[in-house]
Amino acid sequence: MNHVLVFVIAGLFVYTIIPTFVIRVLGIGVYKKGTAGRGIALTFDDGPDPEYTPRLLELLKENNLKATFFVLGSKAEHYPELIKRMHNEGHLVGVHNYVHWANAFMTPKKVRLQLEHSVNVIEKIIGERPVYYRPPWGIINIFDFLLLKRFRMILWSIMVGDWRSNGGKRKIKERLQAKLRDGAVIVLHDSGQTFGADKDAPIYMLEALREFIAEALSKNYAFLRVDEKMRLEEKNKRAQFSLFKRTLIFLWFKWDRLFHWLFSVKPLDENKPLFFYRAATFRGMTVSLSDGEKLVSGDRVIELHFNNEALFHLATGARSPVHLAVQMIRSVKENLPKVTEKILSTPEYSDIKAIYGITMIHRGASQLGFTLMTLPNGLFSIITRMYLKILLYIMHADGKNRLKSNPDALIPLVLAISANEMKSKYPVSQLSVEMERTIVPAGYLVETHATQ
């Protein structure tokens, strides 16, 4: 009996658990989130619903927004007029299986038959074969990777539990606001008829969505269909980076992750990882900080490291240098108080004397309370400068010319601020206002790891 149980568990791992882990966690073979930029995608599952889908379509029409619907083939058969309306009003219609069953509980043949039936139903209604597919609950079996020859599998980066009624509009809206990131793919549900859902849940989803749309538009977010979003991002990548450069970027990101693992460098905020950090012991000459504190060798400090991958996505997703500067300002403003929060919430950081790092993004830093210092001459300074120039060449779309255009400006500096001044200027409950006066030149998007 034990052998049978082991065999069954091993079979489940191979058939569905490992494949689902591969797409859900590693994102291999699927589209979950685009490159940074203000383009986000609204997607809706489990419909069409005769009560809620028309109301949703009206809301989207009022705001002139386009969305993506992953519909059930069985419901499409019952409500073809809603599928036709989605298509006629410019929305993308994708497939969400014929009925809402997880692929883990179906044979490969059954999954293919469900999809084929659904595709035929939708094609008959709108005259186009859908090629975008979202498996129910984001669960697949190992044979579903064969579907990638015919379909683009789409998952999500934001899910807010809108299929349940508890918490109402407030819960959904707060989660949407808290999780919203550039490039996000948001999944919502315009039907409450699937297993585990509350029938009236779409009422609260629609109420929250109305307010969320207004706020997102006021922040210059653009709502795109999934296919439009993917094409735009691919076009931008091709325009900016050659295959050779994309390979270098890929390898550099892998190196960054290895570095973080080797030196215990952690994200300051798991949801908005603009900064990484680690606690360390300061080794160097005595430094007088702007508030009169002195940083001496042996003091405990927090090293701040820019997330090069996040900076890269900000740069490639920006419409212009000014747009990029605005995004940088917003991101830094959101993150500086989190340094204070980390210090105050971590007992072993009670003896932290200062926060520091080495970077080329230093215009306006002195107005923020940071003391700026040049690197002492020596081997470390030479290596750091070389490192930064290589990084700029790799990450900047026009890195080669950027290095030639103004080489004197590409000087890394040490930035430091005392822990006391950080707590004073950037309390947890208040975002900084000084950064609003600071414009960070787009050409300076390059950073080095702090002193080892």
Residues noted as catalytic: 45, 189
Nearest Cα neighbor of 343 from 277, 249, 295, 394 is: 277
Q: What distance in Å separates the CA atoms of residue 180 and residue 272, rounded to the nearest whole number? A: 10
Torsion of CA 169, 170, 174, 175, to 10 degrees: -50
With beta carbons less than 8 A apart as the criterion, state whether 162 and 172 touch. Answer: yes
Q: Long-range contacts of range 122-128, CB-CB < 8 Å, 24 or more positions apart? A: 122/71, 122/73, 122/76, 122/83, 122/93, 122/95, 125/76, 125/80, 125/83, 125/84, 125/87, 126/83, 126/84, 126/87, 126/93, 128/87, 128/93
Q: Which residues contact 59 (CB under 8 A, 6 or more apart)?
A: 206, 209, 210, 213
Q: Please name the amino acid found at residue 303.
A: E
Q: What is the 3-state secondary structure (H, E, C) of 145-200?
A: HHHHHCCEEECCCEECCCCCCCCHHHHHHHHHHHHCCCCCEEEEECCCCCCCCCCC
CA distances 247 to 192, 214, 241, 256, Å, are 44, 39, 10, 14
